[in-house]
Chains A and B, each alone.
Chain A
Amino acid sequence: MHPILALRAFFRVLFQGEPPVSMPVAPAPAVAPPAPAPAFAHSTEPAIQLLALLQKEGRLMDFLREDIGSYKDAEIGAAVRDIHRGCRSVLERHATLRAVVTQKEGQSIDVPAGFDPSQIALQGNVSGAGPFRGTVAHPGWYVEALKLPTVPPGADPKVVAPAQVEVR
Chain B
Amino acid sequence: MSSRFSIGIDLGTTNTALAFVDTVISPDSPDEAMVATFPVEQVVAAGAVDQRETLPSAVYVASGTEVPAGSLNLPWRAEEKVVVGHFARELGARIPTRFIHSSKSWLCHGGVDREAPILPPGSPEEDARRSPATVATLILKHLAEAWDNTMAAEDPSLALANQEITLCVPASFDAGARNLTVAAAERAGFRHLHLLEEPQAAFHSWIESAGRQWRSQVRTGDLVLVVDVGGGTSDFSLIGVTEKDGELELRRVAVGDHILLGGDNMDLALAYSVAGRLEKERDKKLDAWQMIALVQQCRTAKEALLSDPSLESAPIAILGRGTSVIGGTIRTELPRAGLDEFLLDGFFPLCAPTDQPARARRSGFRETGLPYATDPAITRHLAAFLVKNGPSVAEVFPDRTPAPGQPILPTAILFNGGVFKAQPLADRIIQTLAAWSRSVGGEAPRVLNHSDLDLAVARGAAYLGLARRGRGVRIRGGSARSYYIGIETAAPAVPGMAPPLKAMCVVPYGMEEGTAAQISGREIDLCIWTGEPAAFRFLSSTTRRHDQPGQVFDVDGEDFEEHNAIETTLPSVGGSEGEAVEVDLRSHLTEIGVLNLSCVDRQSGKEYLLEFNVRQQSAD
Are A and B co-members of a single complex? yes
On A, residues with C-beta under 8 Å from B are 35, 37-41, 59, 62-63, 65-66, 68, 71, 74-76, 78-79, 81-83, 149-156, 164, 166
A149 to B87, CA, bound (A): 13
Does B70 sit at the interface, judged by CB under 8 A?
Answer: yes
**Given pairs A40-B75, A79-B317, A152-B69, 16 additional interface contacts (CB within 8 A):** A37-B77, A38-B70, A38-B73, A38-B79, A39-B70, A62-B322, A62-B323, A63-B325, A65-B323, A74-B331, A78-B317, A83-B325, A149-B48, A150-B47, A150-B49, A154-B69
CB of A157, distance to nearest CB on chain B (Å): 11
A12 to B77, CA, bound (A): 40
Q: A152 touching B68 by the CB < 8 A rule? A: yes
CB of B95, distance to nearest CB on chain A (Å): 9
Q: B46 touching A155 by the CB < 8 A rule? A: yes
Contacts of A74 in B (CB 8 A): 331
Interface size class of B (residues with CB under 8 A): 20 to 34
Evaluate whether A151 and B48 lie within 8 angstroms (CB atoms) in the complex, with A75-B329, A79-B319 already known: yes
Q: A37 touching B319 by the CB < 8 A rule? A: no
A154 to B190, CA, bound (A): 35
A92 to B295, CA, bound (A): 24
A59 to B326, CA, bound (A): 10
8 example contacts (A-B, Cβ-Cβ < 8 A) are as follows A37-B75, A38-B73, A62-B325, A66-B327, A78-B329, A151-B47, A152-B46, A166-B289
Q: Which 6 A-B pairs have the closest CB atoms?
A: A154-B69, A152-B47, A149-B48, A154-B68, A38-B73, A155-B68
A66 to B327, CA, bound (A): 9
A35 to B45, CA, bound (A): 23
Q: A63 touching B74 by the CB < 8 A rule? A: no
**Chain A, residue nearest B149 (CB):** A37
Contact of B315 among A66, A81, A149 (CB under 8 A): A81
Contacts of B297 in A (CB 8 A): 82
Contacts of A156 in B (CB 8 A): 68
A59 to B70, CA, bound (A): 25
Contacts of B77 in A (CB 8 A): 35, 37-38
Q: B70 touching A153 by the CB < 8 A rule? A: yes
Evaluate whether A150 and B48 lie within 8 angstroms (CB atoms) in the complex, with A38-B70, A79-B317 already known: yes
Does B324 sit at the interface, judged by CB under 8 A?
Answer: yes
Contacts of B321 in A (CB 8 A): 164
Contacts of B67 in A (CB 8 A): 152
Contacts of A153 in B (CB 8 A): 47, 68-70
Contacts of B50 in A (CB 8 A): 149
Does B76 sit at the interface, judged by CB under 8 A?
Answer: yes
Q: A79 touching B326 by the CB < 8 A rule? A: yes
CB of A92, distance to nearest CB on chain B (Å): 13
Provide the B39-72 mask, 1 if CB < 8 A to any CB of A, else 0. 0000011111110000000000000000111110
Contacts of B68 in A (CB 8 A): 152-156
Q: B331 touching A154 by the CB < 8 A rule? A: no
CB of B288, distance to nearest CB on chain A (Å): 9
CB of B103, distance to nearest CB on chain A (Å): 25
Contacts of A154 in B (CB 8 A): 68-71
**Chain A, residue nearest B326 (CB):** A79
A96 to B289, CA, bound (A): 33
Provide the B318-345 mask, 1 if CB < 8 A to any CB of A, else 0. 0111111111010100000000000000
**Chain B, residue nearest A34 (CB):** B77
Does B78 sit at the interface, judged by CB under 8 A?
Answer: yes
A100 to B74, CA, bound (A): 37
Contacts of A62 in B (CB 8 A): 320, 322-325
**Chain A, residue nearest B90 (CB):** A56
A134 to B386, CA, bound (A): 70
Contacts of B44 in A (CB 8 A): 149
Q: B75 touching A78 by the CB < 8 A rule? A: no
CB of B96, distance to nearest CB on chain A (Å): 12
**Chain A, residue nearest B76 (CB):** A37
A79 to B79, CA, bound (A): 38
Contacts of B49 in A (CB 8 A): 40, 150
Q: B326 touching A71 by the CB < 8 A rule? A: yes
A151 to B325, CA, bound (A): 26
Contacts of B325 in A (CB 8 A): 59, 62-63, 66, 79, 83
CB of A44, distance to nearest CB on chain B (Å): 13
CB of A136, distance to nearest CB on chain B (Å): 32
CB of A33, distance to nearest CB on chain B (Å): 13
Q: B69 touching A82 by the CB < 8 A rule? A: no
Q: B71 touching A75 by the CB < 8 A rule? A: no
**Chain A, residue nearest B94 (CB):** A164
CB of A5, distance to nearest CB on chain B (Å): 25
CB of A124, distance to nearest CB on chain B (Å): 39
CB of A147, distance to nearest CB on chain B (Å): 9
Contact of B324 among A37, A66, A81, A152 (CB under 8 A): A66
Contacts of A66 in B (CB 8 A): 323-327
Contacts of B71 in A (CB 8 A): 152, 154-155
Q: A79 touching B329 by the CB < 8 A rule? A: yes
Contacts of B79 in A (CB 8 A): 38
CB of A165, distance to nearest CB on chain B (Å): 11
CB of B13, distance to nearest CB on chain A (Å): 25
CB of A130, distance to nearest CB on chain B (Å): 44
A164 to B93, CA, bound (A): 13
Q: A63 touching B326 by the CB < 8 A rule? A: yes
Q: A68 touching B326 by the CB < 8 A rule? A: yes
**Chain B, residue nearest A147 (CB):** B50
CB of B367, distance to nearest CB on chain A (Å): 25
A19 to B322, CA, bound (A): 76
Contacts of B315 in A (CB 8 A): 78, 81
A75 to B325, CA, bound (A): 11
Contacts of B317 in A (CB 8 A): 78-79, 81-82
A135 to B326, CA, bound (A): 39
CB of B11, distance to nearest CB on chain A (Å): 27
**Chain B, residue nearest A155 (CB):** B68
Contacts of A155 in B (CB 8 A): 46-47, 68, 71
**Chain B, residue nearest A53 (CB):** B45
CB of B35, distance to nearest CB on chain A (Å): 26
Contacts of A152 in B (CB 8 A): 46-47, 67-71, 73
Contacts of A81 in B (CB 8 A): 315, 317
Q: A40 touching B324 by the CB < 8 A rule? A: no
A152 to B289, CA, bound (A): 25
**Chain B, residue nearest A152 (CB):** B47
Q: A40 touching B73 by the CB < 8 A rule? A: yes
Pick from B47, B49, B76, B324 the residue with the most CB of A within 10 Å: B47
Q: A149 touching B45 by the CB < 8 A rule? A: yes
CB of A32, distance to nearest CB on chain B (Å): 13
